[in-house]
Amino acid sequence: MIPLITGIHHVTAFAGNAAGNRRFYTQTLGMDLVKRTVNFDAPSMWHLYYGCDGGAPGTLLTHFAEPNAPRARHGGQEIALVTLSVPVGMLASIEARLADKGTATTRAMEFGNDGLMLVDPDGMRLRIEESPARQTTAAFEIARVSLMVVDAEATSHFLVQALGFHRCARDAHSRTIRLALGGNSGSDGESNGGSGREIDVVHAPDRAAEAMGAGTIHHVAWRVPDDATQARARLAVTHSDIAVTSVRDRQYFRSVYFRIPGGILFEIATDVPGFAIDEPADALGRELRLPPQYESRRGAIMATLPSLDES
């Protein structure tokens, strides 16, 4: 099966303190705040987009920031980890930068690749690793996400059949199956996806699901180039007897949503039109941008949103 999706578009998580979230992702990690807007389904809540290269798909970590959100406990049936890739030769300097900013890291190997493990201020789990398979020169790309599931074989089967992934590696010790989309041939003779085109499926039948809150990941979005491809991908998912939403206009991309077997939320998002649709490309993320349906409520919305500046 030729995959219709081309990689990860973005990952969205819950956060608590909005100012602390902004400080960590911009000042500590060094990403750009490329869009400050609201949760389109709950406009009293910030939706902050961090990324690189003007918010290029595949670089985006986004957060619903809600000051009253309880800090979550991590469990099963969740997107448990986001791995970011950096250019080869950059890991040591990033490790030093994080230490200088007071962020603790630990070194850990995954499938023979060294990386840094860390958590953001809300407890969201991140990994940073060097990748020779990166597609751009961006400071950070999303390399992959890791799913914690009850049945790794069943989840992997769905991802292969419905979304066009293929199996490229297995780690018996961590009970992890690595899947990939297309890409270059690996040393084992199988095709590896490369940065942004991989997903790890961790077999964890004894991990109970926990309620979502600050520090947990709401969903992962997979990218397609345009609306026509999205429609074909949506149809492929429905053929697997999975319910998929209608297309939702998210201003900067168009989205459909569905839950894979077990309940984890996936999105398929278009690359177009991008973040420069409502503000200049050289001024991204400086001002609150609202979709047309909320412009008449701008004053009231601004009054409810917590400050993004540290007090």
pLDDT digits (tens, 9 = 90+) for 261-291: 989 999 999 999 999 999 999 999 999 999 9
Strands 254-259 and 60-65: unpaired
The residue among 255, 257, 295, 260 whose CA lies nearest residue 273 is 255
Q: Any idea which residue has 């998929």 for tokens?
A: 244
Is the Cβ–Cβ distance between 82 and 219 less than 8 Å? Answer: no
Give the Cα separation of 182 and 2 in Å (integer). 8
Amino acid in the structure at residue 224:
V
Give the Cα separation of 284 and 32 in Å (integer). 9
| 62 Cα distance to chain centroid | 7
- Which pTM was predicted? 0.95
| Confidence at residue 135, expressed as pLDDT on a 0 to 100 scale | 66
| Confidence at residue 191, expressed as pLDDT on a 0 to 100 scale | 40
Give the Cα separation of 298 and 277 in Å (integer). 19
Give the Cα separation of 193 and 206 in Å (integer). 29
Is the Cβ–Cβ distance between 262 and 151 less than 8 Å? Answer: yes
Taken in order 241, 243, 192, 179, is the CA torsion positive or negative?
Answer: negative
Give the Cα separation of 222 and 159 in Å (integer). 12
Per residue of the chain (311 residues), what is the pLDDT tens digit? 678 999 999 999 999 999 999 999 999 999 999 999 999 999 999 999 999 999 999 999 999 999 989 999 999 999 999 999 999 999 999 999 999 999 999 999 999 999 999 999 999 999 999 988 776 778 999 999 999 999 999 999 999 999 999 999 999 999 999 999 985 434 333 344 567 999 999 999 999 999 999 999 999 999 999 999 999 999 999 999 999 999 999 999 999 999 999 899 999 999 999 999 999 999 999 999 999 999 999 999 999 999 999 74
Amino acid in the structure at residue 289:
R
| 298 Cα distance to chain centroid | 28
Give the Cα separation of 276 and 290 in Å (integer). 13
Give the Cα separation of 300 and 21 in Å (integer). 23
Half-sphere exposure of 54 (CA within 13 A, CB side): 12
| Confidence at residue 187, expressed as pLDDT on a 0 to 100 scale | 34
Strands 60-65 and 7-15: parallel
Give the Cα separation of 305 and 285 in Å (integer). 15
| Confidence at residue 278, expressed as pLDDT on a 0 to 100 scale | 97
| Confidence at residue 189, expressed as pLDDT on a 0 to 100 scale | 34
Strands 176-180 and 166-171: antiparallel
Give all domains of the chain, ordered by start, each with its CATH number. Answer: 7-304 (3.10.180.10)
Give the Cα separation of 215 and 124 in Å (integer). 4
User: Which residue pairs from 226-229 have beta carbons closer than 8 angstroms and sit at least 24 positions apart in sequence?
Assistant: 226/270, 226/271, 226/272, 227/254, 227/270, 229/4, 229/270
